[in-house]
């Protein structure tokens, strides 16, 4: 079925993005299937001192409201989560989130590497990682961790990115499964969801 | 990044507990694992066993280890809107019924929150009415806190926070620059006492009107969070305030019904039941 090699083995999707990813991410969220089965965990670089507004901005167009999880909140199917400002967001064994104020990584807190690495450790081959446009190398190690533990990796096509440093950095160190334009990522997610119904 | 398995971590925490009496068993796995990975990397230890060997023979190293494991990243006036709330509502409310205020900073790290509180109290003109106890598990970070100095490179962020807090002065009024550090005016902390205290193993040692424990329990799992919250609850006078980090919540905790929410955005709770 379709152009991607998919199945219903996946338990979660993590999406990382930075400079130039906002349009792409809102497009993805606006075209998600209604009643999407998998949880989506977004880690997007954002202003550290602005706690409010971002989650609302993402929710406007999304098919489902985006929420910022509390520490130790359970990860629920079909929810869309966003790493809160000035915290790293980790996935714990036992399907819960943990927050942390540890050192910035790649000049970022939240850091995509942390979200992806901890999610990879929890979900292993049952995780999908997607990395979008961005101006630094955050997320490259996270994507590698996902691939190393058997998960599936996708980067936004660098030729489409406003700033392609981030997906390119991932491509440099990992054999990424799919290089896709935003339109195709939307297609991928909709096709994936069909395996869950 | 080292591939650290859970069995390795168990072995390590068990060893530390037997040898030094600290219990890291119920620290949140994701960050604890990452901190241990950092220690291995910094010291170029190829495995957990090398770390255990070093810890077993070197108490001084163990102190550094504790410092590295516990997260000591902090800011002055982190979440400025929270500090405004403390100044404009919480402190005035306590003063309606009390002549003096006892405050506990539980997990004070290098002291930035304590310094913020001290400045806030001075600007309110009530520092003489307040006693602050600031505690941390980490001896070396406490001695740093006692030196009242903050790396000058952090002052840019601290000043921005202070401006958003809408303090009545210039933050620079409170410190002088010495050897790349901003050293705070010692008179600010005359009523502050820094003490070593482990939230996990430590006992309830006093009663307070206000307990701040922001972004400390995020490093614990839920079992430990419940234990620590019981102690924080016990350490509060009835109608005293408990303040946790902006993305922490009491919702899942056993003692949630003994508190009411005063401000949900800033995570300020009031103890209503013993």
pLDDT digits (tens, 9 = 90+) for B113-150: 999 999 999 999 999 999 999 999 999 999 999 999 99
In this prediction the ipTM stands at 0.93
CATH of the domain at A60: 3.40.50.180
Q: Residue A1: pLDDT above 70?
A: no
Chain A positions in Cβ-Cβ contact with residue B160 (cut-off 8 Å): 49
Residues in chain A: 197
pLDDT in tens, A62-91: 999 999 999 999 999 999 999 999 999 999
Predicted local distance difference test score (pLDDT) of residue B251: 87
Does residue A170 sit within a domain? yes
Whether residue B22 is predicted with pLDDT greater than 90 in this model: the reply is yes
pLDDT surpasses 60 at B102: yes
**Which residues have a Cβ under 8 Å from the Cβ of B52 and sit 6 or more positions away?**
B11, B12, B15
pLDDT for res A50: 81
A1 belongs to a structural domain: no
The CA radius of gyration of chain B, in Å to the nearest whole number, is: 19
CA distances from B38 to B47, B51, B84, B215, B217 (A): 12, 12, 36, 20, 20
Buried/exposed code over B5-34 (b: 16+ C-beta within 10 A; e: otherwise): eeebbeebbebbeeeeebebbbbbbbbbbb
Domain count, chain A: 1
Task: Specify if A133 maps to a domain.
Answer: yes
Q: Is residue B254's pLDDT more than 90? A: no
DSSP states of B163-211 as a string? Answer: HHHT-SS-GGGGEEEETTEEEEPGGGGTTEEEEE--TTTPPP---EEEE
Predicted local distance difference test score (pLDDT) of residue B1? 53
Residue A7 in any domain: the answer is no
Is residue A161 assigned to a domain?
A: yes
* Residue A32 belongs to domain spanning: 12-194
Q: What's the pLDDT tens digit per position in A21-38?
A: 999 999 999 999 988 899
Q: Which domains are seen in chain B, by residue range?
A: 6-69 (no CATH), 80-271 (3.40.50.150)
Average pLDDT over residues A122-143: 97
A45 catalytic? Reply is yes
Residue A2 has pLDDT above 80, yes or no: no
Residue A26 included in any domain:
yes
Closest Cβ–Cβ partner in A69, A92, A103 for B28: A92
The phi and psi torsions of A47 (rounded to 5 degrees) equal -65, 135
Half-sphere exposure of B187 (CA within 13 A, CB side): 6
**Strand order across the A127-131 sheet:** A66-67, A80-82, A40-44, A12-17, A127-131, A152-156, A178-180
| Bridge partners of residue A43, in order along the sequence | A16
Q: Which residue has the tokens 């409310």?
A: B93
How many angstroms separate the CA atoms of B73 and B40, rounded?
20
Percent of chain B residues past pLDDT 70, beyond the cut: 99
Q: What is the mean pLDDT of chain B?
A: 96
Q: Give the model's confidence band at A95: pLDDT under 50 very low, under 70 low, under 90 confident, else very high.
A: very high
Q: What is the dihedral of CA B202, B204, B209, B211, to 10 degrees?
A: 20
Residue A172: active-site member: no
Q: In B, what residues contact A, Cβ < 8 A?
A: 1, 6, 28-31, 33-35, 71, 73-74, 78-81, 160-161, 164, 215, 217-219, 221-222, 225, 245-249, 251-252
Interchain contact, B215 vs A93, CB within 8 Å: no
Confirm whether A60 is domain-assigned: yes
Report the gap between the CA of B178 and the closest CA in chain A (Å). 24
Identify the burial level of B159 via C-beta atoms within 10 angstroms of its C-beta, where 0-12 means exposed, 13-18 middle and 19 or more buried.
middle
A18 is catalytic: yes
pLDDT of residue A51: 79
Is A110 part of any domain?
yes
């Amino acid at each position: 079925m379709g152009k991607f090699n998919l199945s219903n083995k996946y338990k979660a999707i993590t999406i990382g993005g930075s400079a130039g990813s906002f349009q792409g991410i809102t497009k993805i969220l606006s075209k998600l299937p209604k009643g999407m089965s998998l949880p989506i965990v977004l880690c997007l670089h954002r202003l550290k001192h602005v706690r409010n507004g971002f989650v609302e901005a993402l929710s406007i167009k999304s098919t489902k409201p985006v929420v910022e999880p509390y520490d130790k909140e359970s990860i629920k199917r079909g929810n869309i989560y966003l790493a809160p400002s000035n915290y790293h967001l980790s996935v714990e064994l036992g399907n819960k989130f943990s927050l942390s104020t540890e050192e910035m990584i790649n000049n970022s807190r939240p850091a995509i590497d942390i979200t992806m690495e901890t999610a990879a450790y929890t979900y292993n081959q049952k995780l999908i990682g997607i990395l979008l446009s961005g101006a630094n190398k955050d997320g490259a190690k996270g994507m590698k961790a996902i691939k190393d533990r058997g998960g599936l990796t996708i980067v936004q096509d660098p030729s489409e990115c406003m700033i392609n440093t981030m997906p390119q950095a991932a491509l440099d160190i990992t054999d990424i499964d799919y290089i896709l334009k935003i339109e195709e990522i939307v297609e991928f997610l909709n096709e994936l969801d069909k395996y869950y119904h | 990044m080292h591939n650290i398995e859970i069995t390795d971590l168990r072995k390590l925490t068990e060893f530390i507990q037997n040898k030094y009496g600290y219990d890291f068993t119920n620290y949140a796995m994701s960050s604890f694992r990452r901190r241990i990975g950092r220690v291995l990397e910094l010291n170029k230890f190829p495995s957990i066993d090398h770390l255990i060997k070093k810890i077993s023979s070197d108490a001084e190293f163990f102190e550094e280890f504790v410092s590295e494991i516990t997260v000591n990243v902090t800011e002055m006036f982190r979440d400025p809107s929270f500090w405004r709330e403390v100044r404009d509502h919480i402190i005035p409310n306590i003063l309606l019924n009390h002549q003096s205020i006892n405050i506990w900073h539980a997990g004070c790290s290098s002291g930035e929150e304590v310094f913020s509180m001290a400045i806030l109290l001075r600007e309110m003109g009530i520092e003489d009415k307040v006693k602050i106890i600031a505690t941390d598990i980490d001896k070396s970070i406490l001695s740093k806190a006692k030196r009242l100095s903050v790396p000058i490179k952090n002052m840019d962020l601290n000043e921005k926070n202070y401006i958003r807090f809408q303090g009545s002065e210039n933050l620079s009024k409170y410190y002088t620059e010495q050897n790349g550090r901003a050293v705070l005016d010692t008179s600010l902390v005359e009523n502050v006492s820094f003490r070593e205290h482990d939230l996990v193993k430590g006992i309830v040692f006093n009663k307070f009107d206000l307990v701040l424990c922001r972004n400390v329990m995020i490093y614990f799992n839920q079992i430990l969070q419940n234990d620590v919250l019981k102690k924080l609850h016990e350490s509060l006078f009835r109608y005293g305030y408990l303040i946790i980090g902006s993305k922490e919540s009491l919702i899942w905790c056993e003692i949630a019904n003994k508190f009411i929410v005063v401000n949900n955005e800033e995570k300020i709770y009031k103890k209503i039941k013993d």
